[in-house]
Chain A
Amino acid sequence: MNRLVRAELAKLRSLRTAVLFAAFAVAYPVLALLPAISAPAADQATMTADDFLRSLRGPAPLIAFTVLLVGVLLTAGEHRHGTIAASLLAVPRRGLLMAAKLGALAIAAAATAAAAATVALIGGTLFLRSVHVEVSPFGAKPLATAAAVIGVAVAYAWLGAGLGFLLRDQTAAIVSAIVWSTVVEGVLPVLFRAPGLRRWLPGDAAQAVVNVAERNPDLLPAAGGALLLSGVVLAVVAAGTAAFARRDVA
């Protein structure tokens, strides 16, 4: 199993798009800090230690979405370029190949999110200290938030893999993910006139997880969010695996 995961990691490393996505995710926390850095001095003077956690949580959705795309590339991308046949000839047991991909994605997503969280912790600390707000990157709250960002990234990478194997079409998988996160999650609560519905959808569940250090009444508790998000990921991965196991490969 170990070598199959290494083989999938080798595939990821050799994809320029995947490497660029990961690099963007790592650099994004710095970009996210730019508005605060360029804010008027009067606004900067009102900043507090709470802004530190916000600077850590803020980039989390984009980091998660970026690794979701990497998950799609490693699965639907194989169908798109026809390399899935070579992969299955090397690892003919489809469940094993899927498990290897999930293992590789967990490592890649965790490494990317850990690097991004480190950038956010260092960047946030340096900036807030420069405006005389004393924060420490080693506190329990920032570290718990960083761990949550990593966990959500792994979940989203697996979501991307599940979607990729379920739909097989790379463009359809990416468009579905974009439409779900930007349209469906925004429209459903309005459509059903139930604003509280949003907290039960995967996007807000992920937000609940990264809010682990500070309770937000609009979101589920972090444990509830983690449970909900895990359920969604499990369902999509199971559906993707079942579809992948059943279908012939062209």
Chain B
Amino acid sequence: MATIEIDHLTKRFGDVVAVDDISLRIEPGSVTGFLGPNGAGKTTTLRMLLGLATPTSGTATFNGLAYHDLPNPAQTVGVVLEPRFHPDRKAVDHLRPLAIAAGVGPSRIKEVLDLVDLAGAAKRRVGGFSLGMRQRLALAGALLGDPETLILDEPANGLDPEGIHWLRVLVRRFADDGRTVLVSSHVLAEVAQTVDDVVILNRGRIMLHRPLAELEPSLEELFFSITAKEGTNR
């Protein structure tokens, strides 16, 4: 099972420091909430971890390997970022190339579509999907390779209450199997019901990394005190 390790990771865009020398280790068998206000650097960190953006300095690895060095990425890491699809493609046609590239058979496409409750929409074009359906399809893509690690960026966006509950159960089961889950979100109430550990990021820096059970006072109060203090300091 994969350990995620981020070591002195920094990303600058010109004069703007989006991620500022962050270090983090996430062990298997846990769900870690990656929290922060908009613009805190959560998505930039995830993009560097996944090789979509190049760090200015530092490293980000899975079991010591950079994402682009993983022998079969889909079987190690399943990812849901902002769900974007070609609107002209059917759901099944979105998953087919991913399945071929991951070396998994067509039967797995059906399995994951069943799992995310999209089997009935498999042959519908994604252009007609709701945001919730797109999130489910993105999750189906992430689960294709039956990965050791799940990285989810705002996965509850667009999901109805039933969908959010379903996602929570899925994530919990995933971690209980000894796998690793990293969930980026700014919906504190949702995170508080799902995660084991909390990482709060603000202005590109890690302000807190602690088990949820050890947080005093509540996650929400702590979050606002950290982000407000930082805002005042700057």
Q: Which residues of A lie under 8 Å from residue B52 when comparing CB positions? A: 85, 88-89, 248-249
- Residues of A contacting B54 in the complex (Cβ-Cβ under 8 angstroms): 248
**Contact present for B98 and A3 (CB under 8 Å):** no
CB pair A90 B98 closer than 8 Å: yes
Bound: A81/B50 CA distance, A: 19
Bound together, the chains give a CA A78 to CA B85 distance in angstroms of: 9
- Whether A90 and B93, one on each chain, are in contact in the complex, defined by CB atoms closer than 8 angstroms, is no
Main secondary structure of the interface of A (DSSP, over half): helix
Q: List CB contacts (< 8 Å) of A64-105 with chain B.
A: 77, 81-83, 85-93
Asked whether any CB of chain A lies closer than 8 Å to the CB of B210, the reply is no
Give the residues in chain A near B177, CB-CB below 8 Å: none
Which one, B77, B86, B101, contacts A7 given CB within 8 A? Answer: B101
Nearest 9 A/B pairs, CB to CB: A82-B84, A14-B93, A92-B68, A248-B53, A7-B97, A7-B100, A7-B101, A90-B101, A10-B97
Nearest CB in chain B to that of A2: its residue: B100
Does A193 lie at the interface of the complex (its beta carbon under 8 Å from any beta carbon of B)? no
B100 touches A81 (CB 8 A): no
Whether the pair A92, B67 counts as a contact (CB closer than 8 A) is yes
6 A-B pairs with CB atoms under 8 Å apart are A83-B85, A83-B86, A85-B82, A90-B101, A91-B101, A92-B73
Closest residue of chain B to A82, judged by CB? B84
B57: min CB distance to chain A, Å: 15
Known interface pairs A3-B101, A92-B68; 11 further A-B residue pairs with C-beta atoms within 8 A, sorted by A's residue number: A7-B97, A7-B101, A10-B93, A11-B97, A15-B88, A81-B86, A81-B87, A82-B85, A86-B84, A91-B101, A248-B52
B79 at the interface (CB under 8 A from A): yes
Contact A4 B86 (CB under 8 A): no
CA distance A113 to B70 in the complex (A): 38
Give the shortest distance, in Å, between A225 (CB) and chain B (any CB).
Answer: 35
In the assembled complex, the Cα of A15 lies from the Cα of B127 at a distance in Å of 13
User: Residues 83-122 of chain B: 1 if any A CB is under 8 Å from the residue's CB, otherwise 0?
Assistant: 0111111100110111011110000000000000000000
Residue of B68, B85, B97, B102 most packed against chain A (CB within 10 A)? B97
Interface residues as binary, A1-28 with B (CB distance below 8 Å gives 1, 0 otherwise): 0011011101100111100000000000
Contact present for A89 and B97 (CB under 8 Å): no
Instruction: Report B-chain residues with C-beta under 8 Å of the C-beta of A10.
Output: 93, 96-97, 100
Interface residue range, chain A: 20 to 34
Across the interface, do A81 and B85 meet the contact criterion of CB distance under 8 Å? yes
* A92 and B97 within 8 A (CB): no
Q: How far is the CB of A13 from chain B (nearest CB, A)?
A: 8
Q: Decide: A77 near B86, CB < 8 A? Known: A90-B73, A92-B67.
A: yes
- How many Å lie between the Cα of A216 and that of B68 in the bound state? 50
The reply to whether B86 and A3 contact each other, CB–CB distance below 8 Å, is no
Q: Of all chain B residues, which has the CB nearest A15?
A: B88
Q: Known: A3-B101, A82-B84. Contact between A89 and B53, CB under 8 A? A: no
Q: How far is the CA of A83 from the CA of B54 in the complex (A)?
A: 19
Once bound together, how far apart are the Cα atoms of A86 and B94, in whole Å? 10
Say yes or no: B85 contacts A90, CB within 8 Å. Answer: no
- Report B-chain residues with C-beta under 8 Å of the C-beta of A249: 47, 52-53
